[in-house]
Structure 1
Amino acid sequence: MDGLIWQLSVAVIALAFVALVVFLIKTLKAAENSLDKTSQTLQEVQKTIDELSYEVKQVVRHANGITEDVQGKMKKIDPVLETVKNVGDILNEVTISAKQVSSALIDRFKKSPAEIRGESTFSSASAAKAAVQSPSERTVDSYAAVYSDKKTKQSWVKWVDVAAGVWQRYRA
């Protein structure tokens, strides 16, 4: 009986080993299928990455072209911006000059008639003329009366008045 138990034990062990091998084969086949699918997926991902890298390179090249174009245009605009800055500086100087002339004129008008008669040859006829004149004409005339070189000073003041008028219209 001892021999029969041995044979039976060996047969059970052989059947268990066969069952184990069958399950291992099924598991290995499933793992092989998973690895094949993973390999296919990785190949597809690699192909997609290659396509995307080409497109990204194209986008970068296009962006570089746009950047170069914008830089070129900015270099072309720089002189215009410098000119606008210079015009602003000039208008600022003209405004300051107009303020100075206006202040001098206001100071002159604030003086009493006795002070004006004592300091200048401002007659009642010229006072009547000043009352009828426009503010810019009064500015030119009063400036010319104060300074002896009438032609140079008068033309300069006219230009200041014109510039001040342009500046006021520009600001409005």
Structure 2
Amino acid sequence: MDWLGIGVFILGLAFAGLVVILIPVMKKLTATLGNTADTVSTVNKSVGEMTGEITVILHNANETLTDVHGKMEKVNPVFDIIHDTGQAAHHLTSTLVRFTGQKTDKAKEGADAIDRSQLEGLLRGAAFFYYLKQMSKTDKNEA
């Protein structure tokens, strides 16, 4: 054998030794990658389940917000009536204060100050309270 053959033989032995040393490492790496694949599969299933639940929660939240918005639209006229009633009461009381502070010959000016726009809120408020009274009567009759 010549030197080239001896060198190739030594390289072959070194490669065989390296393969023998790397076999357990490769087995451990295979086991680790298998566990990683199982973990990723479990996470994918969990994320899929959570996505479905989150979709249901968001759908329910949207329905609730739509319901609240609709109910607020129904309640807004009540607040408008209460606001108008408050303004009319303010105008009425301020007119009455001016009226009582004036002499009797100026009473006509005080009465003229109470015009339709200032009483409209009071009338709407009275109609609202009449409506509430009628609703309570129908509720009692149904019960």
Q: Shorter-normalised TM-score: what interval? A: 0.5 to 0.7
Pairing 1:1-172 to 2, within 5 Å after superposition: 10=2, 17-111=8-102, 115-116=103-104, 118-120=105-107, 146=111
Q: How far apart in 2 are the matches of 1:13 and 1:119?
A: 134
CA deviations on 1:97-147 (whole Å, 9 max, x unpaired) are 111111111111222xxx31x3459xxxxxxxxxxxxxxxxxxxxx9xx48
Q: How far apart in 2 are the matches of 1:36 and 1:75?
A: 58
Q: 1:86 to 1:30 in 2, by over 3 A?
A: farther
Q: How far apart in 1 are the matches of 2:79 and 2:62?
A: 25
Per-residue deviation, 1:62: 0.6
Per-residue deviation, 1:19: 3.8
User: Pairwise CA RMSD of aligned residues?
Assistant: 3.2
Q: Which amino acid aligns with 2:61?
A: V
CA deviations on 1:57-83 (whole Å, 9 max, x unpaired) are 000001111111222222333332123
CA deviations on 1:24-78 (whole Å, 9 max, x unpaired) are 2111223343333323222221121111101100000011111112222223333
Q: Which amino acid aligns with 2:69?
A: D
Q: How far apart in 2 are the matches of 1:80 and 1:14?
A: 94
Per-residue deviation, 1:13: 6.5
The residue that corresponds to 1:137 in the other structure is none
Secondary structure of 2:57 counterpart: helix
Q: 1:109 to 1:22 in 2, by over 3 A?
A: same
Secondary structure of 1:87 counterpart: helix
Q: 1:90 to 1:83 in 2, by over 3 A?
A: same
- In structure 2, stretches of 5+ residues that fail to align are 113-118, 130-143
* Aligned length, in residue pairs: 117
Q: 1:120 to 1:89 in 2, by over 3 A?
A: closer
